Amino acid sequence: MLLVWATIASSALAQSPNKGPDEAFATAVAGLASDNFPDKSAAVTAISELHHPNGRAVLATLLDGKLYFRNADNKVFITDGGEAQLALTDPLTAKAAGDAAPDDFTRITTNNSLRKTLRSAVASFALSDPDADVRHAAVLEMLRSIDEDSVVILRARLEKENDAAVKKAMREGLALADLDSSDAETRLAAVKALEKSLSPDVYNRLTAMVVAGEDGAYPEPDERVRTTAREVIAAIESSRAVYSTLETLFFGLSLGSVLVLAAIGLAITFGVMGVINMAHGELMMLGAYTTYVVQQLMPDHIGASILVAIPLAFMVSACVGMLIEQGVVRFLYGRPLETLLATFGVSLVLQQVVRDLFSANNRPVETPAWMAGSMQINEALSITYNRLYVILFMIIVFVILQMVLQKTSLGLKVRAVAQNRNMAKAMGVRTQWVDALTFGLGSGIAGVAGVALSQLTNVGPNLGQQYIIDSFMVVVFGGVGNLWGTLIGGMSLGVVSKVLEPWAGAVLAKIVVLIALILFIQRRPRGLFPQKGRAAEN
């Protein structure tokens, strides 16, 4: 009430003398030097009404007890409150006005009611800030310790507010405050108004209302309000469930993307060429270490380092892959079990090479600023950027790979050799050359996957081992020789793992998925999307 009166009084004060804003502000500030509190209070409200750029600083200083007036001419100054020396600032121009001895000045005193008015006034300055984010922050700040005054201010500002998010926060705060009202109807309306809210505060507050205390009495006396509150709680719970499902789905998709990235190179070497490359995980590891080395070489450009690392990692892993193909795998075509053992030996050697070059400890790989942080969709759902980028990255890699296989002459030859090696040879395809390139392509993709992994997990000599079994599972699940199968297989494995995790725990979820896969292979030994036609017979 006080404030309403004060508002009316101050608008009269501000409007009646038809002066410029600076002059009006100067008058109001001068009014603070008055020796009685009602005058000071009127001056405070006048200042808050004027929205002068310096108004907030003046009021905040007054609240801090650092606003002084000069004894000689009653001129008001903002000071630093120093004991021996006062550093003065002119409130009208916000410029420094030299130092002075404290003896010549008098501190402008406040009392309880004035401080209350001041606090509201300072808050309403933030609430009328042109930046919606500042207003939002101010509302949240006020809600943290809500009292009658802030309720009045919020209610007043609600009319003028035009930003939806700020408005929502205000309504929520007002409704929360209304829950304390003694009038059952007000409480009922407040509960209803909170129906759409997802904030944990609201949820806790509402649940507290309907839980009976030890004496059997409810904190909320009115039966109707309790019933409505229960309904609202149920509504909130169901919409939170929807968002948490969405979040799980997102986590699952990002895990699935990692799996697809790890497996897609394998899908080429294993699926298209029929070669088991147990060193595939180590090729990913090489990609991750390439990222590390690139960051060491350009420590001032971490943001760009990832983009540089992607092609480099592709080159490094592709070269190592082609070396493996030329040195080992080439001699073992048609003997998959031997290939498996030999490439396993290669993987051990690669691990030890990395251990000797970089030490056995994990290497720190920095996350560029543009990949850090998260996108807050609402109070129940936020999306971290690195997971989002992994999904996008996977899609890009997948599309490029499909283009290479479907649209280029190399892709045509790769598919021809995969379908019928001898016929391709007879048509003049240099199958040895194609084999080496295919292996290089699959290995290079592993390197690129390693760059992505370096942002998500520890970069160490064992990085490859963690993913090799999962990758094989994805390829086998999706169906050999089919990139779409790998995509769908990886994504569904990722989502299923994440869906299982909340009620089984991460480790148990993994075990369940592995067992389910083992059982799945029994039912469909050739995966989700088996090859059809003659190629399937081999």
Partner 1 sequence: MGAIHKGPLLRLLVGERGTAVFLVIVAMVGIVVPVLHLVPAEGSALQLSGYTMTLIGKYMTYALLAVAVDLVWGYCGILSLGHAAFFALGGYAMGMYLMRQIGTRGVYGDPTLPDFMVFLNYKELPWFWHGFDVFWFAMVMVALVPGLLALVFGWLAFRSRVTGVYLSIITQALTYALMLAFFRNDMGFGGNNGMTDFKEILGFSINAPSTRVALFMASALALIAGYLACRAVTLSRAGRVVQAIRDAESRTRFIGYRVESYKLWIFTFSAVLAGIAGALYVPQVGIINPSEFQPINSIEVVIWVAVGGRGVLYGAVAGAVLVNYAKTFFTAALPEFWLYALGLLFVVVTLFLPRGVVGLLDRFGRKPPPAAPPDPEVVTA
Binding region for partner 1 (CB under 8 A): 276, 328, 331-332, 336-342, 344-349, 351-352, 355-356, 465, 469, 472-473, 476, 507-508, 510-511, 514-515, 517-519, 521-523, 525
> Which H or E run contains 79?
strand 76-79
State the Cα–Cα distance between residues 289 and 179, nearest whole angstrom. Answer: 57
Length of the chain: 538
State the Cα–Cα distance between residues 314 and 303, nearest whole angstrom. Answer: 19
Residue number, 32 or 279, with CB nearest to partner 1: 279
Residue number, 320 or 517, with CB nearest to partner 1: 517
Cross-strand pairs, 222: none
Determine phi and psi for 107, rounding to 5 degrees: -75, 140
Least distance in angstroms from the C-beta of 472 to partner 1: 5
Residue number, 240 or 526, with CB nearest to partner 1: 526
State the Cα–Cα distance between residues 263 and 394, nearest whole angstrom. Answer: 11
Least distance in angstroms from the C-beta of 471 to partner 1: 10
Cross-strand pairs, 99: 87
Least distance in angstroms from the C-beta of 115 to partner 1: 54
Least distance in angstroms from the C-beta of 511 to partner 1: 5
Q: Which of 317, 350, 269 is nearest to 450 (CA)?
A: 317
Residue number, 181 or 462, with CB nearest to partner 1: 462
Burial class (CB in 10 A: 0-12, 13-18, 19+), 342: buried
Residue number, 216 or 525, with CB nearest to partner 1: 525
Q: How far is CA 281 from CA 142, 389, 398, 467, in A?
A: 53, 21, 18, 6
Whose tokens are 């190592």? That residue is 320
> Looking at residue 362, what DSSP letter applies?
P
State the Cα–Cα distance between residues 527 and 426, nearest whole angstrom. Answer: 31
Residue number, 125 or 477, with CB nearest to partner 1: 477
Least distance in angstroms from the C-beta of 528 to partner 1: 14
Least distance in angstroms from the C-beta of 289 to partner 1: 17
Cα dihedral 309, 313, 314, 315, rounded to 10, equals 110
Residue number, 279 or 380, with CB nearest to partner 1: 279
Whose tokens are 């194609």? That residue is 434
- What distance, in Å, lies between the first and last C-alpha atoms of the chain? 88
Q: Which of 259, 457, 294 is nearest to 362 (CA)?
A: 457
Residue number, 422 or 522, with CB nearest to partner 1: 522
Residue number, 51 or 510, with CB nearest to partner 1: 510
Least distance in angstroms from the C-beta of 491 to partner 1: 19
Cα dihedral 483, 484, 489, 492, rounded to 10, equals 140
- Are 363 and 289 in contact by the 8 Å Cβ rule? The answer is yes
Least distance in angstroms from the C-beta of 248 to partner 1: 21
Least distance in angstroms from the C-beta of 395 to partner 1: 27
Residue number, 130 or 334, with CB nearest to partner 1: 334
Least distance in angstroms from the C-beta of 332 to partner 1: 7
Residue number, 172 or 435, with CB nearest to partner 1: 435
| C-alpha count within 13 angstroms, C-beta hemisphere, residue 336 | 8
Residue number, 240 or 330, with CB nearest to partner 1: 330
State the Cα–Cα distance between residues 530 and 481, nearest whole angstrom. Answer: 8
Q: Which of 126, 108, 9, 142 is nearest to 56 (CA)?
A: 126
Least distance in angstroms from the C-beta of 421 to partner 1: 18
3 state DSSP class of 377: strand
